[in-house]
Structure 1
Amino acid sequence: MRRFTPPALLALALAGCTTGPDYAGPPPAAPNAAAGGAFRRAGDGLTTAEPVLARWWEALGDPTLNALEARALAANPDIAVASARLRQARAEFRTQRANRLPNVNASALYAHARVPGLDLGSEEEGGGGGGGTSSLNVYNLGFDSSWEVDLFGGTARAIEAARAGADAAEARLADAQVSLTASVAEAYLNLRDRQARFALNQAIIARQEQALALTRQRLAAGTVTQAEVERLVQALDGSRADITPLRAQRDSYLDLLATLTGTEPGVEDAALGTVQPVPLPPEQVAIGDPAALLQRRPDIRAAERTLAADTARIGQARAARFPRLSFMGIVGIGGSRLTDLTKLDDLAAIAAPQLSWGFLDFGRNRARITKAEAVRDESEARYRGAVLTALRDAEGALSRFGASRVTLASLARAERSAGAVASLARQRYAAGTGTLIEQLEAEQRQMQAEQALIQARANLTLSYVAIAKALGLGWDRMDAGGVPAGDQAAKMR
């Protein structure tokens, strides 16, 4: 019968022990939402169909925006940072997994010693008697190995924590993609809104200047009062004041888009300088349900995986309270002559099991466990907060989308009415029953109504972007290198 040494028996008896607690999944943070059902603020134009996870912006049908999004995902520094952190986390997981296995090292040694006054059986190089100097050569080839038995699961918990940490890093990369794609779309829509309003404001100023010149002619002829002239001057100054911030905002959004796409400010000015209409969202927007939202949002996934990692670290801290069993072995050949390295039957071998236990640490381990438990409790609270924030974001975005649709419809009717009034003013002027000033003022009111309509269109599409962000859209699965699986441009980078 095979005999086991006492350390081996201890290892076999305790190797199956793993200190807790075991992670049982995230706590219930929003049971009503997790049970299914529909969003409370969902209204017209919203369906419960499952939304497209990646490239949601393509539903707007704007090729320029599509190109900006692709460049941003490939070159944005924040995405590069999150991708690098994912690779770090995956490397840490591989490191912790390798810690379960023995550590083996190979060594080769040659030493030459000159020892005075010591007779080692070699030729003396000087003097006589015992006062000479002896030479000694040492040759050695060997291997040493060390291995710590995971008696109480500390290494297993470290691997568990590292795996969850890698999952959390992947979720944070996805969350960075969600934020980036929404930011690019928001900047682009705001740019198109400011460009269109800036152009309209210039046209309004031209109309006001023309009306003011005609009114001054009438003042000289005595057909109007100075008060009428001052009213037009005041309106013209107000329009000129309005156009200044529009120009500054237009330029700032151009610079923001350049930065988001990983280039310096000014690079995108030529490509985006032409005025283009603000794209509108599709007639029907798929939003899914709250339960799917909680599974989809990467920030919730990151918070849940962080909670899992911090739970595993409690077991890692608890395992440090118990004894540690390690084995060290050394095997080598050699001697005082080079030919000794060929004597494979003359091996030097050492096997040294070691049991250590820091049982008297004056509360250090207890403090580390308390800290790990507090970190876990913080992560649990953050997870609950992430769930509630996600639901609030979604409901708020859906409510704003519905309100924006109503506002846009009202302003569209107002713009059509102003257009009809301007058309009648032009007909009256052509028939000689109206004045040019009346026609110019009617056209100015029409452009002001059009300006409000442009802003309402932008607000509606911005609320659609807010829905996509709140639903956690805009990311794709990662490959082993931390690159979105469908992002070929980023893979080639």
Structure 2
Amino acid sequence: MQFSRTPILLLPALALAACTVGPNYAGPPKTLSDANGAPRFVRGGAQVSPAAPTVAAWWTQLHDPLLDTLEAQALATNPNIAVATARLRQARASLRLERANQAPSANASATYLHARIPGFDFGGGSSDGSASAVDVYNLGFDASWEVDLFGGRRRSVEAARAQSEAAEANVADAQVSLTADVAQAYVSLRDVQRRITLSRDNARMQQQMLTLTEQRFAQGAASDLDVERLRGQVETTNGQIVPLQAEAERYLNAIAVLTGREPGVLDATLTPGGAVPLPPAAVAIGDPAALLQRRPDIRAAERQLAQRTAQVGVADAARFPRLTLLGLIGLGGTRLSDISPDKLVGIGAPMLQWNFLDFGRNRARIHQAEGQRDEAEAQYRGAVLVALRDAEDALSRFGHRRDTVASLMRSKASADRAADLMQQRFRAGTATLIDTLDAERQRVAAEQNLSAGVTSLTGDYIALQKALGLGWGEPPPAA
């Protein structure tokens, strides 16, 4: 009967390889209260529904083809997305490295040595005592493997996997911010372009009023004060157009940079004005529990907590002994013919290391890792609260803004009716042209207010989509 040559003392150590020290990650801490049933959003109104929203391409609900094109270009070429994607590749490579560290490492070598040393006789030197020479040929193969007795390597892989998943969430978070920024800049540009058009219309009507007042002054039917007051209004309105033009150029530059282009490239495409896109009549928002699973920054914070928990196990495993299995195979000699299987030399050596007298260093590292885990847990709780607050604030603004826009629409309708009635009176000869132009100016002002309200409503819709964590797609595939 033949027994294995493996030392009996190694068998208990190898059995310990299934042991993993450190805390097991049990998921994120509970942050939502269910005292009143299933969690739901407090703010909002009839304009929102609890249906699950579409994660990707929320901007298509605005029904603006040019905005859809800009969003696609930004997601494809924006530098911030490229940075987040590069960091994801680094995290995935780190995960592959930690997995590879679990496997044995092996090296092969081939050596030829020619030595000529004076005063030494290697058996083939000259008889007069001069220097003799020797040749050495060697082929070797060595391997080593650290047995993961207490799961330190496994915890390292667990931490690297969590870090890789956090990097994926960071890519999605960059997409959420980018798509919201592009939409907001586009809506702001359309608003400024509309305000420029309305301001020019207002200035033109004020100039007509000034011309008529100057004619009345020449006939003695108006005073110098009336003329100067209207002239001041014309200059004020013209002066307001200049900063609006500068603001429009600023948004043109912003959109170009967000889409990965230099300023000025998109001027020809975006300079023709267009209407501000309107949000849909009803907006799906889901529930808070789905929000926490969907928002990329929450997922990244949760994965950071998982990583920090695994690193506690890495620090804990360092307190225990380390077992490394070493092996060496070599053959060779002073002649090339010595490289033959009958001269094979093999060495196997288990090596046990244990830094048992470290004066509390490992214990301090464990406490440090536990503190980092507690910090990550607190950061996760804070991120959850911030996300819920963002969603509730956005819902509140969006709901109240709809009421504001409804009021501005009624005001605009009233100004339109007043201008129409003044036109009828003017044609009947019971109202002056100046009164008619003044009513028209009030109509333009009401239209300006309504345009600003619609822009704010769409901006609040964009902010709501960002707060809900929408606008991201699947991460790039792993190599």
TM-score w.r.t. structure 2 length? 0.96
Task: Name the structure 2 match of 1:209.
Answer: 207
Q: In structure 2, what is the equivalent of residue 244 of structure 1? A: 242
Distance 1:24 1:251 in 2: 52
Counterpart position of 1:488: none
Aligned to 1:104: 106
1:67 to 64, 69, 86: 69
Match of 1:24 among 23, 26, 29: 26
2:412 and 2:4 map into 1 onto residues whose CA distance is 95
2:66 counterpart of 1:57: no
CA contact (8 A) 2:189 2:248 kept: yes
Structure 1 partner of 2:470: 473
**Equivalent in the alignment of 2:48:** 46
Task: Please list the CA deviations of residues 76-103 of structure 1 after superposition, one character each: whole Å capped at 9, or x if unmatched.
Answer: 0000011111111111111101111100
User: Tell me, what secondary structure is at the counterpart of 2:18?
Assistant: coil
* Superposition pairs of residues 64-463 of structure 1, within 5 angstroms: 64-124=66-126, 128-129=127-128, 131-341=129-339, 343-463=340-460
Deviation at 1:424, TM superposition (A): 2.1
Deviates more, 1:48-57 or 1:223-232: 223-232
C-alpha distance in 1, partners of 2:462/2:472?
A: 14
Tell me the alpha carbon deviations over residues 118-176 of structure 1, each in whole angstroms, 9 at most, x when there is no partner: 1111243xxx44x3111111111121111111111110110000000001000111111
C-alpha distance 34-55 of structure 1, shift in aligned 2 (>3 A): farther
CA contact (8 A) 1:174 1:475 kept: yes
Are the counterparts in 2 of residues 333 and 347 from structure 1 also a CA contact under 8 Å?
yes
Q: Deviations over 1:430-458 (max 9, x none)?
A: 33322222222111111111111111111
Say whether the 8 Å CA contact 1:123–1:135 is kept in structure 2: yes
SS of residue matched to 2:343: coil
Aligned partners of 2:97, 2:262: CA distance in 1, in Å? 38
- Tell me the residue number matched to 1:15: 17
Shift of 1:273: 0.4
Task: Give distance in 1, aligned partners of 2:335 and 2:104.
Answer: 32
Q: How much does 1:33 deviate?
A: 9.5
3-state SS in 1 of match to 2:341:
coil
In 1, distance between residues paired with 2:11 and 2:36?
A: 49
Change over 3 Å in CA distance of 1:210–1:270 after alignment to 2: same
User: Is the contact made by 1:57 and 1:185 (CA closer than 8 Å) also made in structure 2?
Assistant: yes
Aligned to 1:486: none
Contact 1:30 / 1:388 at 8 angstroms: preserved in 2?
no
Task: Give the CA deviation at 1:3.
Answer: 5.5
Q: Which amino acid aligns with 1:311?
A: T
CA shift for structure 1 position 226:
2.2
Residue 5 of structure 1, CA deviation = 1.1
SS in 2 for 1:15: helix
Task: Quote the Cα distance in structure 2 between the aligned partners of 1:88 and 1:199.
Answer: 50
Contact 2:155 2:310 in 1 (8 A): yes
CA drift of 1:16 comes to 2.2
- Give the drift of 1:6: 4.8
Q: Which moved more, 1:39-48 or 1:299-308?
A: 39-48
Read off the aligned partner of 1:322 and give its amino acid letter.
Answer: F
> Conserved in 2, the CA contact under 8 Å of 1:34 and 1:294?
no
- 8 Å Cα contact 2:33/2:39 also seen in 1: no
Residue correspondences, number: 477
Q: Could you say what the CA RMSD is over the residues aligned between the two structures, in angstroms?
A: 1.7
Q: Percent identity?
A: 56
Does the 8 A contact of 1:426 with 1:439 survive in 2?
A: yes
> Counterparts of 1:291 and 1:471 in 2: how far apart (Å)?
11
Amino acid at match of 1:218: R
1:35 to partner: Cα distance: 6.2
Q: Is the 8 A contact 1:254 1:266 kept in 2?
A: yes
Contact 2:62 2:277 in 1 (8 A): yes
Please say if residues 35 and 291 of structure 1, whose CA atoms lie closer than 8 Å, have aligned partners that are also in contact: no
Distance 2:316 2:391 in 1: 40
> SS at 1:315's partner residue?
helix
Counterpart CA distance in 1 for 2:331 and 2:135 is 14
Q: Which residue identity does 1:147 align to in structure 2?
A: W
Q: Aligned letter for 2:317?
A: A
Q: What is the CA–CA distance in structure 2 between the aligned matches of 1:33 and 1:49, rounded to whole Å?
A: 22
Unaligned runs of 5+ in 1: 483-493
Structure 1 consecutive aligned stretches of length 4 or more whose deviation exceeds 4 Å: none
Structure 1 stretch 226-235 or stretch 53-62: which is displaced more?
226-235
Where does the alignment leave 5 or more consecutive residues of structure 2 unmatched?
none
Contact 1:34 1:290 (8 Å CA) reproduced: no
Q: CA deviation at 1:113?
A: 0.8
Distance 2:391 2:36 in 1: 14
**Which letter does structure 1 place at the counterpart of 2:60?**
E
What is the alpha-carbon distance in structure 2 between the residues aligned to residue 380 and residue 20 of structure 1? 17
Instruction: State the SS of the aligned residue for 1:433.
Output: coil
Q: Distance in 1 between matches of 2:94 and 2:477?
A: 14
In the TM superposition, residue 323 of structure 1 has moved relative to its aligned partner by: 1.2
